Structure 1
């Protein structure tokens, strides 16, 4: 699989596609990405209007460095295939597909995208939100090995997983930890980014912070959000800290010294570091630089 450019995905906000004011506001928020939603946030009688509005907003542009993603309805619904063709024609950065439970679904979506004229830059993101998706997570991630499938990112759908499994939301998300960890593991095995699910407590700042920190520690690249008030916490928690960036730069510089270029490990400031730490550091620095470039 050809690697994609590193870009920050600390905060990715769902915006209802049926709300014209929300689509306009999406161009002004300090967020890494926006998901213009045609699915859960849109009532059945507003689906066609939302599809037209989201397509027009994507074509109009003006989102700056923000990643623009269109979430379609499932292909098993009356709106899904029309959504997919419309989003493919509009050419967002990615199309987010709900309830992906098998690699065959990834292949089918990618085929329709190509037939509908989706530009090369339009990637496929997959929601992980069903019990079957968790059971098939490695096979779904492996679909990314074929560039024709366009798959670059998983998005956890924790609300739907709770609904389908009857698991309860707890402060520590203990019932979800297996699903979250196995999805991160599969994503990393096949070079995918992965975003944590939403936090439902809009006014619960401490709960949001704790869940962002947990997601970061589990290995997620960022968090999907449901309200602009959640952006600042996600941006801060999923960004590399200044000490992390400084230490990463120091490791990279140490291994770049002529006397160290052939070494697999060395001592730096009283710590043993290996070349793998330099590789990890390069990603930390690249993310930090990308965040800084956003202004």
Structure 2
């Protein structure tokens, strides 16, 4: 383990100093783009104003014979567009693939000044983060970059979930984590072929009463993992995200899964299809009524101490902290979304 005095030192001569705190940005949805497809790249200029993060995907869902085209397509996409306040990310191939090294070296050298985050798949321990951390520092120094590129880990193996706390604290370059339910299901030996969401057979029955039919209550397959990821992220100042929801034909189930993740502390989710952009925007923006009530709490307790009654409910310093989370998020949303700014009253 590094000494505290060395934790924030650059890992290469000439590399930019690590962030002391992760930049505050609105990231309700991470929208995946397959950059090897020209017609999809052509949609990016219009997409930038509609999403919080544009991610060029180089890993899963990209055929092996299109990996190089995806890499060069992402570089071209980054060069051709001004992303403004919208984040630019890339999900590179996993560390043990034949494409990872070229992905990172070529992207950082070519468009590292525009890239905000590298999403690293199948992270299993702090050692994976340490390797990419050192490599990025060397490449940033070589490219003369003035700000560090952050790392976002995907939890999609049993080993990664087991080591989630060590992953979260592995580097000041860490941005956050996403749940990768499909690969995680395979790694755990789970008996499902779904990409995220629930399963009708994962349920509990109501007690037997002798009245005949017993009620069935479907459970959330991902509750434990999301909770563990949120705790690891928030205790280290990182951002937790729900990952993909693969059934594009069921927007109601997608919204339910996203909302569960939001209530548990996630700040956003992946959008793999245009219809999921609006779902993520709606879910990960706080409800206007919740914002209005939270503002009442903050106004009634300016210094966050004591206790007051509001609408028949007791509020104290603990609920003041909860209210501040909601209002702070609403202000961040309002800074980008003028429509919601008006609804929130900011």
Q: TM-score, normalised by structure 2?
A: 0.77
Deviations 1:213-246, CA, capped at 9 Å, x for gaps: 2222222111112101111111111110111211
Q: CA RMSD in A?
A: 2.1
C-alpha displacement at 1:125, in angstroms?
Answer: 0.5
Partner of 2:30: 12
2:310 pairs with 1:268: yes
TM-score, reference length from structure 1: 0.89
1:164 equivalent in structure 2:
187
Question: How many Å separate the matches in 2 of 1:61 and 1:173?
Answer: 43
Match of 2:336 in 1: 294
Q: C-alpha separation between the residues in 2 aligned to 1:151 and 1:94?
A: 9
Aligned match of 2:87 in 57, 60, 67?
Answer: 67
Aligned pair in 2 of structure 1 residues 275, 4: CA closer, same or farther (>3 Å)? farther
Q: Does residue 58 of the first structure (1) align with residue 78 of the second (2)?
A: yes
Structure 2 residue 68 is the aligned partner of structure 1 residue 48: yes
Kept after mapping to 2: 8 A contact 1:154/1:187:
yes
User: d(CA) in 2 for partners of 1:220 and 1:213?
Assistant: 9
Mark the CA change 1:290 to 1:26 in structure 2 (over 3 Å): closer, same or farther.
farther
Whether 1:212 aligns to 2:239 is no
**Partner in structure 2 of residue 97 of structure 1:** 120
Q: Is the alpha carbon distance of 1:262 and 1:288 closer, same or farther for their aligned partners in structure 2, counting shifts above 3 Å? A: closer
Is the Cα–Cα contact under 8 Å of residues 29 and 52 in structure 2 kept in the other structure? yes
Summarize the alignment of residues 219-238 of structure 1 with structure 2, pairs less than 5 Å apart: 219-238=265-284
> Residue 264 of structure 1: CA displacement?
4.1
- Tell me the SS of whatever aligns to 2:222: helix
Question: Contact 2:164/2:229 (CA < 8 Å) preserved in 1?
Answer: yes
Structure 2 distance, partners of 1:56, 1:176, is 37
Alpha-carbon contact 1:6-1:286 (below 8 Å) kept? no
Asked which structure has the greater RCO (Cα within 8 Å, sep 6+), the reply is 1
More helix by share: 1
Once the 2 structures are TM-superposed, how far is the Cα of residue 199 of structure 1 from its aligned partner? 0.9
**2:6: which partner in 1?**
none
- The answer (yes or no) to whether the contact 2:55–2:89 under 8 Å persists in 1 is yes
What is the CA-CA distance between 1:291 and the residue it aligns to? 2.0
| Structure-1 separation of matches of 2:118 and 2:61 | 16
